[in-house]
Structure 1
């Protein structure tokens, strides 16, 4: 009978053997994961691709080289010690359906695999390249099933997988509908995330948690999806600077933006079916510099005072809004440089300021001292005293597309350039003494003679002519058929039957 010490020794040996066996199995599985799919040949890669070897930068350009796989290791020309070295590698526009583990390096890696038809990502593809700074996987076929937390795991230490140093991640133009709540737990230094042109219809709690853990995120692009609402807490822990919500299905400004109002500097809400912008939609947006609310085909009203809180606004884009007839401009935005309110249905501008009390000694207003560009073209402007006084203050500013910026009313000013308006004359009613202000040097082209209208007219004429030709051919064909039937009837022989002997 074995002694207790022998028994303990046997148990210990069995435990060690089991542990070694499990470790071997794990290693074999991991190895098999990468070796069951071959890598591209490295030996002549600098002949197949383009290699550039600088002192602190290595560039590998394998763009559009008909490759099926990436490399297992970097070219020999790049050496083995990459400490302090940047590696820029692109495998874009190849047929790489499965992205394998990236070659090992301790250098700073910028990796691109755009337009590669990638459908799957192997687990722990950055385990040997934790210093990856930028990853571009746009224009592929990735779905939410391919994006698991294991993909972004870094090297394994004694207790857990470390994080990787990814700063910029581009997943645009894929087929992603949702995000795993733990997806980004190993890339907590991410500052730029692009999810544009995917298939999101909403951001549920899981997606909100995934994005909410990115405490260093500064730029988020979720444009060109189908999102209607955002969770109220999605931006709660973020220091977001740039947010792109363009071309979604928002019917109002999301309440969740209130969580990011202190840090947000750029906001794009264009191409959304929003009918009304409320006064308090941009409350406390103290640092907003860029605002784009163009191409909103249902926008009918912007409430008074909406822009008054945007004291640091530098660019305001509000063009192609065909149901918007008037706009209250942000007179408190003293840093405004670019104003684009072109190609809409605007007939008036309203300033929340008394022109007389806010004019300086030299006759110009004390707001917008940095204004450089004003785009007013393609609007049916009502050239009244208010509009003339406003434009008078910007006489030293070049109004872009000036040849298209003209009065539509009153009738005696129709066709007059906005830059030619005489505020004194209009405000005193002197313009009513003439039916139309004539400008012999003017190159004004009536609406019906402008390029797009000429095209429409030509298309209409072409359709009418084509319809006439088709009808003519139809009538001609019908007449021919009718005529041939008559001729056949006339040419048929008449048969006579004798009945004399019929009895």
Structure 2
């Protein structure tokens, strides 16, 4: 009888262990999300910093929404009860040491967001995503991927956003199409794509021809020297931190729906006229840290905006950390209606041509590093703390006056030198004989007066 009780106790304990909820353990912290949005209604479960969690037989509550397994020093993802749920919508596996995901390990039918960033993944086998068909967001940044052929997206038909940052995938794009339809490629449903720091040197023609719905594209921190054919559907574009040395109106001519543009840390020297004239929906523009940018055309947004700000949709503009010395006063009308304008960190020449800047509504947070670079007496002065009387062109006028003075003095010295030369080397007077001798060789002579007046007799 005692043996029977022992067996029953073991069975009961086993059943209890298998059915124990992770929220009842001492290893995880759970709290209920009471937001009114039903889509995010459920338990938020934080099980980070526990490397042995997947080895325990814990299950998720029926209302689980988010599960955080980050920073657990995990190396392999295998099947576990905690990775089986009909309600879990978000799984965070970032910042581990994961180098392998076993097939069928993820049995999360309703999973919408999966973060696998900051791991050591090199391959994602076909079948890995078989049971997460509803995934909409996937983050694979900062892994060890070197080719798209080792990442299978075949079952992710609902995927809308993917992050591939800081994987050495650029060279593989010379031979593979990111939107390949044979199995591993992304589907045309992708709306947001980030490929920052993937060692990309060139984007070939028609690269995005199958990206019918792409709205956000981040392709910063690569080795691109030229712009490429941007998808006309874009609303957000970031090509910062590339050695691109020229941009023009033709680059953005088809981006009528673009709202946010980032052109930071390029090699461009100027923004010419009408460069952004076709961007009728643009509300935010960043031109920060452009160390060669010294000229910004007054007509960069077109000529119409100079007279009528109704043609100017821009709300925020930043030149922070570039090399501009001045801006044309014609920009006062459009810049005057900006919600945020950051001009800090440039080499501003605080003369009469820059006085109009003080009329703009600059945000107080953007005052501190908005300073003069020249003239020397005003170096490092805060522009918005300077009285307008200091914004003059006296230095320029003084220089012009000096040049004129030097020219006049030089001319006077030249005349004086010529006069001295004439005085020193020309005879002071000449005698009548000397004059006669001067004409002695003439072909005729002067007749005496009395001879010329005599009349011949009749």
Q: Which residue of 1 aligns with 2:452?
A: none
Quick one: structure 1 residues 434 and 398, their matched pair in 2 at CA, closer, same or farther if it must change by over 3 Å? farther
RMSD, aligned α-carbons: 3.4
How do 1:201-220 and structure 2 match up within 5 A? 201-202=170-171, 203=173, 204-209=175-180, 213-220=186-193
Q: CA deviation at 1:219?
A: 1.6
Q: Which residue of 2 aligns with 1:288?
A: 258
CA distance in 1, matches of 2:21, 2:152: 37
Q: CA deviation at 1:344?
A: 2.2
| Contact 1:373–1:397 (8 Å) recurs in 2 | yes
| Contact 1:181–1:206 (8 Å) recurs in 2 | no
CA distance in 2, matches of 1:377, 1:64: 42
Q: Which residue of 1 aligns with 2:362?
A: 397
Q: CA deviation at 1:311?
A: 2.0
Query: Aligned residues, how many?
Result: 359
Quick one: structure 1 residues 369 and 287, their matched pair in 2 at CA, closer, same or farther if it must change by over 3 Å? farther
How do 1:36-115 and structure 2 match up within 5 A? 43=20, 45=22, 46-52=24-30, 54=32, 57-67=42-52, 69=54, 74-75=59-60, 78=61, 82=62, 85-101=63-79, 103-115=83-95
1:320 and 2:289 matched: yes
Q: CA deviation at 1:67?
A: 1.9
1:153 and 2:120 matched: no
Q: CA deviation at 1:230?
A: 2.5
Gaps of 5+ in 2: 1-16, 35-40, 306-310, 400-458
Instruction: Give the secondary structure class of the aligned counterpart of 1:189.
Output: coil
Q: Which residue of 2 aligns with 1:276?
A: 246
CA distance in 1, matches of 2:144, 2:94: 14
Q: Which residue of 1 aligns with 2:349?
A: 382
Q: CA deviation at 1:166?
A: 0.2
Instruction: Give the secondary structure class of the aligned counterpart of 1:280.
Output: helix
Q: CA deviation at 1:70?
A: 5.7
CA distance in 1, matches of 2:250, 2:222: 21
Q: 4+ runs of 1 displaced by more than 6 Å?
A: 420-427, 430-435
Quick one: structure 1 residues 231 and 122, their matched pair in 2 at CA, closer, same or farther if it must change by over 3 Å? farther
Quick one: structure 1 residues 368 and 223, their matched pair in 2 at CA, closer, same or farther if it must change by over 3 Å? same
Q: CA deviation at 1:317?
A: 1.4
> Is the radius of gyration larger for structure 1 or structure 2?
2
Quick one: structure 1 residues 200 and 119, their matched pair in 2 at CA, closer, same or farther if it must change by over 3 Å? same
| Contact 1:270–1:293 (8 Å) recurs in 2 | yes
Q: Which residue of 2 aligns with 1:116?
A: 96
One of 242, 266, 285 as aligned partner of 2:236: 266
CA distance in 1, matches of 2:238, 2:394: 43
CA distance in 1, matches of 2:114, 2:395: 63
Quick one: structure 1 residues 277 and 57, their matched pair in 2 at CA, closer, same or farther if it must change by over 3 Å? same
After alignment, is 99-108 or 308-317 more displaced? Answer: 99-108
One of 102, 116, 121 as aligned partner of 1:137: 116
| Contact 2:18–2:58 (8 Å) recurs in 1 | no
Gaps of 5+ in 1: 1-39, 155-162, 356-363, 436-503
